[in-house]
Structure formats: C-alpha cells, structure tokens
Structure 1
Amino acid sequence: MLATPGTLPTGPGWSFEVKWDGMRVLATVTEGGPGGAAPVLQLRTRSGRDVTPNFPELAGLLELAPDVVLDGEVVLLDDGVPSFAALAHRMQGVVGPAAAQRRPVTFMVFDVLRLYGVPLLDRPLAERRATLDRLAPARIAHVEMSPLYPDGAALLAVTAQRGLEGVVAKKETSVYRPGRRSPDWVKVAHRHSQSCLVGGWRPERSGADRIGALLLGVPGPDGLEFAGRVGSGLAGTAVQQVLAERLGPLESATSPFATAIPRADATGARWCTPSVVVEVAHLGRTQAGRLRQPVFRGVRDDVGPAEVRREPG
C-alpha cells in the first residue's frame, strides 16, 4: 500500500511515523515444505524484483516466524539519518556477507501482512501493529520497528530539524490494499523528490565515454513529458558504471519524448528506451514543468516504469 502526498492530517484516529529514505521491501518467510526443510526468506521490492542477495545481513528474519510477511523500508544510516546515496550502491547487486557486515543496512519494519498462514490485510492498522509488537522484530539483528508517534506536528518539526525526509500519517482503522495509493496513508515531505524515466543522456564534454547529464521524463496524457536534465550527482565512478550498464543496452535511434525538447538540451543527446527509473531531488518546477536545480540521487530498482507519476511540488 502506498501513501498519498498531502498535508498533515489533524484530529483523532491517526498515528505518525518517520518517512524513511530508503528502499521499500516486502520480506516473506515461508515454510520449507515437507521433510522438515528450513524456512526460506525472500526480499522483494515494490516492482517485484528479488533483492534477497543484496542484503545478506537480514538473514536473521528467518528466526522471526516460520511463515510471515513484513512490510518495511531498508535504509542505510549515517549518524542515525538514512542516506539514499549510500544505499544506492547496495541496491544494484549481490553483496557478500563480510562486505555487508562492514556497513550493514537496517530494515525498518512498519507492517505485518500475514502471520502463520493467516492473511491480515483486512485487519485495521492498529490490530496489525499490535501483532507486530508481539512479534518483536527488533530482537533480530539489523531489524528495527518503525516507531509510531501521536503528535504529527511535533514529529514533522523534529524530522525537519534532523534532516529526515518527512512524516507518514496513517489512519488507525485503515486496512491494507497492496499496490494501491490510499488516502488513509498520507505522506508529508520536507523536500521535493521525483521518480523519473531516463529518455536519453548527453556525454561529458571531456569524453564521450562518461555521462554528463540525463534527460528526464515523466509520463503524461500524451506520452513521455520532458522534465529537464540532471548533471549534478553523476560524477562518481560507481554511478557512472551503473548508468552505463543500464542505459547501454537501451540505446534508441529516436527520442522517446512526446514533443521535441529544447535544442540546448537535445544537442549531442543519445536516446534510449525509457525503462530505467531514477530518483531526483529538486527545488520545484518552472512554468514549463522542468525541474529546478535537480540532483541525481540514484537508480530506483524498487520502482517500476509503470509506477512513475508526477509528484506534487
């Protein structure tokens, strides 16, 4: 279930938690079948991608229960604050146990959807959280409960002060609807962010083998709408490698954008099929719908191309 962008709700019947800046993951433990086989853990993103090998330090979830489905956010903390840029590298591929333990992620659990074969989707949030409390997932290494708070305004102020992403408000009576964006969950962010599709890229002036800027798009009623280009945040060697691996096989002879984009942006562009999703921070939009001062934050493997939509701000 996804949160709807909006203003902070007031009144009774709402709980509030930190909006964690990471990768949304469903963790599923299933019984191993006949013969006493060991339970199996699978970690999947919103788009259905299996990222279990990416996070070997979360194998302790197998000890929680022989049959359980948890919803939460995988984060990589720097001084208690999630760093999406640091997590982006872990999203991309398999990591060995030793490397994972040197800088482990944390799985911030905020919901339980099934337990011992019993679906909990139609139970109210307050009941699901009580069930989660009894499971005590924080006894597992690298797993924490995402705390709930009664005062949304105070939490919003604290998260702004600490540099956190924002707050999610959840109606205590809300049932869980997989994949749907519900008004019963409301997200309030301190900074603007936008998931975009990459429709092309421009090489650096110093050499055609390095990506100097990405040409961004967001689906609109008439096709892919140009949202601007981003060059800030692309300089790192790991970022260049990941983007080259993803975009190279998608090269196209024609622009995927619904309308012609400005010559200043299109000059020297190499077009590609728009199937790679990236996350961009920005300072709002121009009247033409371009992102102001965009900064590349990472590839979003947990978001499918069909899920990209224009976010407020």
Structure 2
Amino acid sequence: MLATPGPLPTGPGWSFEVKWDGMRVLASVTEGAAGAGRTLSLRTRSGRDVTPNFPELADLVTLAPDVVLDGEVVLLDAGVPSFAALAHRMQGVVDPAAARRRPVTFMVFDVLRLYGVALLDRPLAERRATLERLDLPGLAHVEASPLYPDGAALLDVTAQRGLEGVVAKRETSPYRPGRRSPDWVKVAHRHSQSCLVGGWRPEKGGRARIGALLLGVPGPDGLEFAGRAGSGLAGSAVQQVLAARLGPLTAQASPFATTIPRVDAAGARWCTPSVVVEIAHLGWTSAGRLRQPVVRGVRDDVDPAEVRREPG
C-alpha cells in the first residue's frame, strides 16, 4: 500500500508517523515443513529479494513462525536516515561483519499476516495493536515506527531535525497491496522524484565515467524528458552501480517521446529506460523539467512501471 502526496489531514481518525528516508521492505517469516526450520525473506516493492543485503536483520526469524511485516529499512547518518548512505547496501550481498560495523534499522509500521491469518482487511488501528503485541524490542536492529497524535507538531519537528516528512494514516483503513491510497497521505519537506534513465553523457575530457544522466518520467505519449542531472555522480560507488546497470541496456536511438534539446543530448549514449534513480530537486519548470536535480542513488526497490510524476 502506497501513500498519496497531499496536504496534512486534520480532524479525528488519523495517526501520524515519520516519513523514513530508506528502502521499503516486506519481511516474511515462514515455517518449513517437517521441522526444516524457519525462513526469512526480505523483498522490495518490486519483488526483488534483498535478504542477503541485510544480514543484521536475521533475528526476525525468531519473532513468529508465520508473519509478514511491512516497513522501511533505514541507515542512520549523524542520527538522521540517509538514503545516500543506504544506496550501496541496496545493490548486492553484504558481508555480515561489514553489516555489524554499520547496521541498518528496520522500522516496522504494519503487520499483514500472523500465524496464518491474513490481516489485510482489518482496520489499521487493529493491525497496529497486533504489531505492538509482538516482541519487536527483543530483536536486534528492528523497531516499531512510532505513532504520534499531532500531525502538525510532528511536521514541525521533522523539519527541524532534517527528516524527510510525515505520513498520515486513516485509522480505519484496510491494507491494499500495491495500491496508492488516499487513506495514507505523505507530506514531504523536500521534493523527490523517481526517474527512469533514458541515456547518459560521459564526463568531459574523454574519461569513461558518467558525467550526467538524462532523466525521464512516463507520460501519456511515452517517456517524457525530465531534465539532465550531473550532481550526485562523483562517488565511485554510484559510478560502479550505474555502469553495471546501464552497460547492458545500450540502445541505438533515444527512448524519449520527443526530441531532446541539443544542449542536453550532445554526446548522449542512449539506453533502455529500465533503471530507476531517486532525484532530489527544487520543483518543476513550466517546460516539465526538474529544477536543479541531484542524483541520490539507484532505486532497485521501485518497479519501473510504478514511476510517475510526483507533484512538486
């Protein structure tokens, strides 16, 4: 279930949480047949298995023999969740010793199944009460995402502390997998947009490094050009990930529905638009371009089919 961007709801019947800047993950624990033991599976919204990426969350298997949890994996940087710091952890298997040195935290906000009973049609308030009866405090690196009754106060506090924003949830709402629901409303302090990479330009001077990405968002007539982003690409980790992802996707022609301005397209190398990147920006221009886009990282947890233009 996904949140809809909008103004902060007011009135009774709403609860409020911090909008965590991390990777959305479904954690599933199942009991094997004939005493085979329990198995933990961590999957992203796109269905990708990221269990080997987060070995520090292995204690989740002790929670119950059958349970499905929804939450956000975050990595703290100076006490604040940092998507940029988490980005490299999304890409592949992580050594348990390295994970222990800088562990993630799984912030759980919903329980979808327990002891074989599906809870999707139960109201949020009931699901949350069930979640709080589980022994999450007894697990390493797992916490229940706190609830707050005053959304406006939480919005102020999150702004002061540099957090991403607030999510408001209607307490009577059922859980609808994969749907973007008005019963969950997200209010962000900064603009963020998932984009598809339709091409890239090498750095000047003949270097093989990626100097800029050509960004796109699906529209009614095809992939719409959303701008060129060069900021945020300096690190070796992001360069390695992008090179590995984009290399096999080389295309002979532009995937965009319209002609790209010459100033942006000069020297471009086109690719099939199936890699999703997270972009921080300062809003949209009247021409449909992102203002001052900055690449925050690759989003392997987002299905390319889910990408759409967010207001901002």
CA deviation after TM superposition for structure 1 residue 138, in Å: 2.4
CA deviation digits over 1:88-139, x for unaligned, max 9? 0000000011010000000000000000000000000000000000003122
1:189 and 2:188 equivalent? yes
Aligned partners of 1:145, 1:75: CA distance in 2, in Å?
Answer: 13
| Structure 1 portions without partners, runs of 5+ | none
- Which secondary structure does the structure 1 equivalent of 2:208 belong to? strand
Aligned partners of 2:33, 2:280: CA distance in 1, in Å?
Answer: 45
Aligned partners of 1:136, 1:192: CA distance in 2, in Å?
Answer: 36
Aligned partners of 2:100, 2:154: CA distance in 1, in Å?
Answer: 31
1:6 and 2:11 equivalent? no
- Which secondary structure does the structure 2 equivalent of 1:155 belong to? helix
Aligned partners of 2:137, 2:256: CA distance in 1, in Å?
Answer: 46
- Which secondary structure does the structure 2 equivalent of 1:244 belong to? helix
Aligned partners of 1:198, 1:52: CA distance in 2, in Å?
Answer: 26
Match of 1:133 in 2: 132
Match of 1:40 in 2: 39
TM-score by length of 1: 0.99
Aligned partners of 1:207, 1:61: CA distance in 2, in Å?
Answer: 49
- Which secondary structure does the structure 1 equivalent of 2:24 belong to? strand
1:57 and 2:56 equivalent? yes
Greater Cα offset, 150-159 or 204-213: 204-213
Aligned partners of 2:78, 2:120: CA distance in 1, in Å?
Answer: 34
1:307 and 2:283 equivalent? no
- Which secondary structure does the structure 2 equivalent of 1:89 belong to? helix
Aligned partners of 1:128, 1:136: CA distance in 2, in Å?
Answer: 15
Match of 2:20 in 1: 20
Number of residue pairs aligned between Structure 1 and Structure 2: 312
1:289 and 2:280 equivalent? no
Match of 1:237 in 2: 236
What does 1:176-255 correspond to in 2, within 5 Å? 176-255=175-254
CA deviation digits over 1:51-86, x for unaligned, max 9? 000000000000100100000000001232101001
Match of 2:156 in 1: 157
| Structure 2 portions without partners, runs of 5+ | none
What does 1:60-139 correspond to in 2, within 5 Å? 60-139=59-138
Aligned partners of 1:72, 1:143: CA distance in 2, in Å?
Answer: 10
Question: What's the % identity of the aligned pairs?
Answer: 86
Match of 2:260 in 1: 261
- Which secondary structure does the structure 2 equivalent of 1:128 belong to? helix
CA deviation after TM superposition for structure 1 residue 248, in Å: 0.5
Aligned partners of 1:6, 1:30: CA distance in 2, in Å?
Answer: 37
- Which secondary structure does the structure 2 equivalent of 1:10 belong to? coil
- Which secondary structure does the structure 2 equivalent of 1:95 belong to? coil
Structure 1 stretches of at least 4 aligned residues deviating more than 6 Å after TM superposition = none
